[in-house]
Each structure stands twice: as structure tokens, then as C-alpha cells.
Amino acid sequence: MDGQQVDREYYYFMTKIKKLTGIDLGQYKSRQMQRRLKSLLNRSGMRNFVEYYKLLERDRQALQSFLDFITINVSEFFRNPDKFEELKTNILPGLLARQDEVRIWSAGCAHGAEPYSVAIIMDELASSKPYSIWATDIDASILEKAKQGVYRDVDVKNVSRQRLINYFTYDREASTYTVEPSIRERVVFEVHDLLKDPFPQDMDLILCRNVVIYFTDEAKAVLYERFYESLREGGVLFVGGTEMVFGASSIGFESISPLFYRKPIGGGQPLKPGRATSPAK
């Protein structure tokens, strides 16, 4: 099969998937995404993208497997523990001192380990101070798991023994850890598509970590500009361990530490016109 035929089939697949699910595969790096999808296609016993789409259209379980594969539902508590310690000691105290209510957004939260990690830190720092944590993902099924707050050993490998005692209930028979209700109730989970849905406004902290790895450079650039607009002055964007916001200063961000970018008080360099978005909240 020649490359042009594969490209035509993939274009057909992208077009049909957007209509079926709302996911725009055109915002992802084409070659990398095709390679990832071909392994899923082959496991499904399909010969090409046209056959694979027809399978997804008629088979709900295959469609859910596709959605799970696309949304890369990989996470763990306190991923990059040193950076979460920096978040606790250097970033959040300043936000807490400046705002009456701290507004936090975990964007692409997968099964909830990230927003619950932040909720644990907030409880340790300022349990009586008002704050909100909005946790979003494109995958509705993974959000249902997140709401349950049940995790395996591998998910909590970076959680200290004291935190396990304070914030989790261990089920010896199932070998699972369940987040305490007092922490679960501090997080609001909602379906949200970073590539098309409106963004909230006046956020103090946005975490978007290990989410954009397969996005095109153009999609990343738009996304980071929208995060900038979503933050209050002095607000902070926290990205993943393998990620860097290229052109951060041209957006207006100042880099305050590896993986942390701040929207300056008083405003940074103006954005290009046409990037601002309407509030979601």
C-alpha cells in the first residue's frame, strides 16, 4: 500500500472520527499518531483505517478502547515528587498569601491522581482556607474512575507513608487505596476538550502535565496562549517533566523554575490579537 493511499485513508478516518466523537486528530502530530493507531488497528484485526473506523462505528467497546488509547490515561500521585515539593514550598504559599480563594485547574487529569495530589497539599498547607480544584479530561469514563478515588500500589508509589495513613483507606483484600472523602469532595471533575472548549478565567494555578506530547507545535502554541489568558496576574502554569513552553516569553510568561511559568503581575508582553477566549466558569 503506497503512502498516498494511507494518507487518504487516514484523512477519511480523521474526518469521520471528528464527526463521531468530536476529537480533532488534525491537532495531533500526524506521523506519530498514525504509528500509535496502527498498533491498535492491528490488534483489532482490521486491515486499514477505513475498516477500523467502521468497527468503531458499530462496536461500543472498540470505540471506548480507542478513546482510552487516544487520551493517554497515564498518571500517578505526586509525579516528579521534587516538583510537587517545590509546588508546596515555593509556589502555593505565595498564591495563598495573595488570594482570598485559590482557584486551581488540573487540565487533562486522567484518573484523578494529579488533582488529588494537589488537594492533599492544600489540606496540609491551608485546610481552612477557601480553594477550588477543577479537574478535567476529554474521557468521560476515566473521570468516573477518578470520582471513585480507588488506586493501586503503582499509582501511590510516590506517596509517603504518613500521607497514606492520613489520606487513604487501604483495602487489604483488594490491595487498593481509596482517597478519603474529605479530599475527594474538594475536587470537581468535568469533561472538557482542551482543543475546542472554552477555558475558565481567573485561575491561580493550572497543571497541564504530560498531556500535549502528541499535539502539533501549532496546537501547543495556541493552548499555552489560552492558558496564559486563563490565569490571573501572578498565576502559575505547571507543565510536565519532559515538556517546555517554547516561546514562553513571547506569550507573556516568565519562567520562575523548570516546569513553572508565571503570568507577571502588571501583565507581561501582550499576546498576538485573536487568541483570547471566553470564560467557561
**pLDDT of amino acid 185:** 96
Residue 113's region, left for phi above 0, alpha for psi from -120 to 50, else beta, is alpha
Closest CA to 118 of 138, 128, 103, 101: 103
Question: Exposed (0-12), middle (13-18) or buried (19+): which is 185, by Cβ within 10 Å?
Answer: exposed
Q: Which grid coordinates are listed for 207? A: 497543571
The structural domains of the chain, with segments of one domain joined by +, span 3-70, 81-147+185-262
Averaged confidence pLDDT in the chain? 87
Out of 58-72, 122-136, 148-162, pick the least confident: 58-72
CATH of 81-147+185-262, one of 3.30.70.580, 3.40.50.150, 3.40.50.620, 3.90.1150.30: 3.40.50.150
Amino acid at 79: R
Q: Answer for the pair 240, 215: CB distance below 8 angstroms, yes or no.
A: no
- Residues 76, 71: Cα–Cα separation, whole Å: 15
Q: 42-46, 121-125, 276-280: which has the minimum mean pLDDT? A: 276-280
Instruction: Inform me whether the pLDDT recorded for 2 exceeds 70.
Output: no
pLDDT in tens, 18-42: 888 767 788 777 888 888 888 888 8
Q: What mean pLDDT comes out for the span 65-88?
A: 82
pLDDT tens digits for 163-187?
999 999 999 999 999 999 999 999 9
**pLDDT tens for each residue of 104-143:** 999 999 999 999 999 999 999 987 889 999 999 988 888 9
